Amino acid sequence: MKSQAITDNFQDANVDALAVVVFKDEKANSGILKDLDKLVGGNISSVLKTEEFKGETGETAYFLFEAKGKNTANRLLLVGAGDKTDYKASDVYTISGAATRFLRKRNVKSFALMPRSDGDSSQTAVGAMQGVVSSQFELDKYKTKDKNDKSIDNFVLFVEGAKEKDLKDGLKRGEIIGDSMNFARDLANEPPNILHPTEMANRAQKMAKEVGLKCEILDEAKMEKLGMGSLMSVTYGSSQPAKMIVLKYEPKKTTGKKGELLAIVGKGITFDTGGISIKPAEGMDAMKYDMSGGATVIGTMRAIGLLQPTVPVLGIVAAVENMPDGKATRPSDVVTAMNGKTVEILNTDAEGRLVLADAVAYAEKQGATTIIDMATLTGAVIIALGDLNTAVLGNDQNLVDEIIACGKEAGEDFWQLPIGKEYSKAIKSDIADIKNIGGGRKAGTIIGAVFIQEFIKDAKWAHLDIAGTAWADNEKPHHAKGPTAVAVRTLLKFVEKSQ
C-alpha cells in the first residue's frame, strides 16, 4: 500500500476522494471547511445547519462534485470526531478507519485525509495509518464468492504545518502496527481444523524468520522434561500435540536497565471444548478465538521485530487444544506444575490458567523481570465489563498504572480489578497446594488471576483478561466484526515507553 505525507495544498492531492474531520457543532464559515464548502456548492453548510450531520464520532456525510483545476478528486467525505475538547491523536485511528471502510465500499482506490492534529503530528500519522490498514481486515478469507476484495491502494495524509519527516516516520510505524494487528486477527479468525497448535507454531516460526526474531518451539517431550504438568494436563485429551512458542527479540543496542527483560505471555487454546467439563453446544463455535491472547503476543512480536525498539522482549505462547477423550484430565485429578506446586483440577474448562501457570513460570526462568500475560480467561469479565474495557490485575501498581496509561494513549481502555491475599484463600485445596477454581460464581475474573499469580516468584506481573474485548460481535464504522487484536497497540506503546 502506498502512502504519502503532505503539509500544504490539501485540495491538490492526486487522489479520488478527500476526507476531512469535522467536530461537533463546527461551522463551515472559516478555514478548510469554508474552502471545501465552496467546492461542493454550499452543501456542507446545508447539512450542518439542518443537523443532518452532527459531527458525532464516526458519523459520515458524502458529497460528489466536479473536479476543477489541479484537484483530481471528485468526492468529499466528512467524518465526525465528536467534541473538539476531547479530541486526541489516538482518535485518528477510529476516524481514518471509518473513512477507509466508507470509501472502500464505494470502490474508491485512493483518498487524502485531513485529521486535524492535536499537536503530535507523528502520533497522528501513526493512528491514521493504523486505521487505514487495520480497517480493511475482513472475515471472508474462506469464501469462494461474494468476497470483499475492494481496497484502498493509496493513502495521503495532510497535516498543515507539520514536519514531513515526522509524518513519514509515523506512517511507516502505523503501517507496521496495522499489518501486525491484521496478522493477529487472521490467526484468531482461523478455523480450529486449520489452526491447531502445530500450525500456530509453524506460522510463528515463519513470521520470526521474516522479521528477524529468534524462535524456539518446545514440544511435549521438552515440556514434560521441564515439569510442565499443569500445561500438559490440558493437552492429554487431544490428538493435536501441544507446543510452547518462544519468540525472542534482542536489540543491537540496548537503552533499558541492565538485566531488565519484558515478557509478554499469551494463552493459545486453539479450540476449547471445556474438556471433560464440556461446554454447552450453543456458542461453542466461538471457542476458536480462545487463542486470541496468543495471537496478540505473536502479532505484537511481529511489530517489535520490524520496529526494532532498544529493549529486549520475550514472547511466549502456550498453544494447546482442550478436548475430551479417554486420556483427558478428569475433575479431581492432581498435577504438579513447573514450579513444584501441586494443583487439584476441579474443572477442566478452567484450562487457560493451567497453561498460563507454566508459561509465566517459564518466562521468569528465562530471566523475565516484568511479565504481562493476556488471555480470554473468564466469562465473568464479560459480565463485569462488557466489551468496552479489558480487565487488568497485577502485583505491581506502577505496572498496572502504566498499562492503563499506555492504553489511553493507544486508544484502548483497561479497568483495574482488585487482587490480594483474601481472594487467594478461595483457591486453597484440601488435598493439594491450590485448586484451579474457587468461590463458586463469585469474583471469577479475580480468582483466575490469583491462580496465575501463584506461579510468579519475583517478577512484576500484570494479567489482562481480554475475553470481552478480543472479539467484536458487530461491525463498527472503523472495523469489521470478529477479532479485534486488542492490546497489540497498548503493548507496543508500553515497549516504546520502556526504551
Is residue 242 left, alpha or beta, with left meaning phi > 0 and alpha meaning psi from -120 to 50?
Answer: beta
**Which one of the listed residues 116, 203, 353, 493 is annotated catalytic?**
353
CB 403 within 8 A of CB 414: yes
Output the CA angle 482-485-486, nearest 5 degrees. Answer: 110
Number of other CB atoms surrounding residue 14 within 10 Å: 13
Taking the alpha carbons at both ends of the chain, their separation in whole angstroms is: 29
Active site residue 353: yes
> Is 279 labeled as catalytic in the residue annotation?
yes
Give residue 64's identity as a one-letter amino acid code.
L
> Which letter does DSSP use for residue 457 in this model?
S
Place of cell 487431544: 238
Q: Other C-beta atoms within 10 Å of 85: how many?
A: 7
Q: What is the CA radius of gyration of the chain?
A: 24
Burial zone of 356 (CB within 10 Å; 0-12 exposed, 13-18 middle, 19+ buried): buried
What SS3 class is residue 489?
helix
User: 332 burial class (0-12, 13-18, 19+ CB within 10 angstroms)?
Assistant: exposed
- Record the cell numbers describing residue 77, joined without a space: 467525505
Phi, psi of 165 (to 5 degrees): -65, -40
Amino acid identity of 220? E
Of the residues 279, 341, 408, 476, only one is catalytic, namely: 279
What is the helix (H) or strand (E) element at residue 390, kind and residue range? strand 390-394
User: What SS3 string covers 5-56?
Assistant: EECCCHHHCCCCEEEEEECCCCCCCCHHHHHHHHHCCCHHHHHHHCCCCCCC
In whole angstroms, give the CA distance from residue 368 to residue 303: 20
d(CA 172, CA 241): 38
In the chain, the amino acid numbered 419 is I
Name the β-bridge partners of 428.
434
| Catalytic annotation, residues | 279, 353
